[in-house]
Chain A
Amino acid sequence: MQGEVRLEGLTKRFPDEVVAVDGIDLTMPPGEFFTMVGPSGCGKTTTLRMIAGFERPTSGRILLDGLDVAQIPPHKRSVNTVFQSYALFPHLDVARNVEFGLKYKRLTKQERRLRVAEALDLVQLGGYAGRRPSQLSGGQQQRVALARALVLTPRVLLLDEPLGALDARLRKDLQVELKALQAELGITFVFVTHDQEEALTMSDRVAVMSAGRVEQAGTPREVYEEPATVFVADFLGVSNLITAEAEADGEGCALRIGERSLRAARGDTGARGEVKAMIRPERIGVEAQDAPGENRLPGMVERAVYVGTAHELHVRLVGGDLVKATIPNDGSVPAFAQGAPVTLHLPADAVRVLAPRPG
């Protein structure tokens, strides 16, 4: 049970009545790369800061391997943080920065120096020990911040949008490196980001947050393929949300869209009344006008966008909803251009019923 974090009923209310975190329950299994993702203001950073100890929860528990640390000050918790701004001490060189926390462990000077060297090698900054933070690039500073935290062998490493300040290519490279590092070390990483793509590519498990609550937590595949709410569906990747009327259909669910009816096999098939039918653009099949078969809807191509890797068709349905369908680019000229009438095939097991959130 090394490095398991459990949040129980965790709430943070600020003095100006703002409820940043609203009674969330989350389990972060040991040794996993766990990401909290959501738009700014959703409470993910506040949650992270409470785990680190920089904010005191209004109520709830934070269990680190079974021990409630909510009232323990940050310098006594065995979690370490990589800050968004890196927060490298400007008056110390790289080696002294990394060594900073080691002074609180009982080690000889020799041992400390060894550990510092190891940590720097781990992040591939072996020769940089004597440099000052101001002499380093953003990416290098980030690695020093990592080394500084990892050298203390924490059970849990917290990362607060560490890649936010880097340019796109560097970000991609570091994403891979961070993931590899985590796998190698086996430490629990708790990662916070607002970038949903980053969350999906790096994590073992993802928690999607909004307005202080956890909308859904699960593996990347689960939250992407099987979003539980409209918010999650909309936040991760592109999703189409079609207004429909849900009716019983034997044991399953039939969605009435205009005059047509679709069979939906996923999601909240027990819901009745007005719902959203969600389907990913890459699951929609685009066929010629009046193509036969079940789960088909007629529409008109309003725009055809060439995205490089795919063709994106914006199709207006009879009911008024605009739907995006993507067709992979296999080098051929697409069959359907702007203005063309088409039929969209929405396979039953790709359609998810999302009931509106109560209240």
Chain B
Amino acid sequence: MMGSRWTWRLLALPGVAWLSVFFLVALYAVVSVAFGNQNTLSEPVPFWNPLDWNVGYVLTVLRDIGSGGQYLTVFLRTFLFVGVALALSLAIGYPVAYYAARHTGRWRGLVLLALVLPFWINYLMRMLAWINLLGPGGWGTIVLHDVGIERLFIWLGLLSERGGWLDGQPTTVIIALVYGYVPFLILPLFASLDRIDQRQIEAARDLGASPFQAFRRVTLPLSLPGILAGSVLIALPMFGDYYTPDLVCASAKCNMIGNQIDQFTRQGSEKVTGAVLTLLLALVLLVLMAYYLRSTRSADADLRAGEA
């Protein structure tokens, strides 16, 4: 448009203002409360001026972590859950994404539709479905018992009692996380694999590589950015997840850091500690967020260059 450059900045202004107030300032509120205090009514009192900051609550939490206390346990458990869930998600998601990207002919549209569908089904509905299936007498419980998987899991120590899938089992939480998040991994993986030029693989085969070698030396490395991006994309929300453990486990044994934060902030009146934990979580995840932003920013630069 031939308007001056200020036209464009003016158009962007409302959106920028909105994000500044309702996002940036909101984030700063977390910081101010984390470094704030709690009054006699157990309400949080934020300290806006960095010079006034009270490090009391932050130190308490850090000391707890440093001495192997409750918060450290929860953080470690969260890392464990997310790590295992991520590994399982990749193990399941990569072959599916690979198939969808490189093989389908006639069924392509249908397969893609099936892969996209979970996106639009309410996450809680999907969890609700599992609660139905894994409850006592549920079809899932029955099938797992009949097929012998229940026995296997008990033997492996992954299940503590028969039919007790929903009774404080970390295993169930991990499986639920995988179920919940793997669709969000498959699509970026698919996009990345789809973009690989078939001719490169054909060239590798032409030069004598077996199918497996061609995969290992051409496809896999080329899809690595997609793997990393997809992993970050689901790890971030997984770290903050509290509703999944709450729904399928409902026991302190499965508490992830999200649960801790939720219990302090929304359910209870320890908002300052909750804010501290939120801040800590955000800092831990900052590395992941920065990585993802950088990879999308180069894509964004391509977008703008493409238009110029």
Contact = CB atoms under 8 A, between A and B. Distances in A.
A73 interface: yes
A125 to B, nearest CB: 29
B51 interface: no
Interface string A61-79: 0000000000001110000
Contacts of B2: 53-54, 73-75
Summarize A's interface: helix, strand, loop or mixed.
Answer: loop
Chain A to chain B: the 4 pairs with minimum beta-carbon distance, closest first: A73-B2, A74-B2, A75-B2, A53-B2
Interface string A42-71: 000000000001100000000000000000
Contacts of A74: 2
Interface residues of A, number: 5
A75 B2 CA distance: 9
Interface of B: 2
5 contacts: A53-B2, A54-B2, A73-B2, A74-B2, A75-B2
Contacts of A75: 2
B5 to A, nearest CB: 11
A281 B121 CA distance: 75
Main SS at interface, chain B: loop
Nearest to A74: B2
A74 to B, nearest CB: 6
B110 to A, nearest CB: 29
Nearest to A75: B2
A46 to B, nearest CB: 14
A54 B3 CA distance: 11
A73 B2 CA distance: 7
A75 B1 CA distance: 11
A20 B2 CA distance: 20
B304 to A, nearest CB: 14
Nearest to B4: A73
A74 B2 CA distance: 8
Nearest to A73: B2
A102 B2 CA distance: 19
Contacts of A73: 2
A81 to B, nearest CB: 13
B129 to A, nearest CB: 44
Contacts of A53: 2
Contacts of A54: 2
B2 to A, nearest CB: 5
A206 to B, nearest CB: 30
A53 B2 CA distance: 9
A75 B3 CA distance: 11
B241 to A, nearest CB: 44
A268 B262 CA distance: 88
B187 to A, nearest CB: 30
B102 to A, nearest CB: 33
A15 B2 CA distance: 18
A115 to B, nearest CB: 25
B306 to A, nearest CB: 15
A101 to B, nearest CB: 15
B143 to A, nearest CB: 54
B308 to A, nearest CB: 11
A179 to B, nearest CB: 31
A290 to B, nearest CB: 60
Nearest to A54: B2
A81 B9 CA distance: 28
A53 B1 CA distance: 12
B108 to A, nearest CB: 26
A259 to B, nearest CB: 57
B162 to A, nearest CB: 65
B174 to A, nearest CB: 51
B301 to A, nearest CB: 15
A78 to B, nearest CB: 16
A320 B189 CA distance: 62
B1 to A, nearest CB: 11
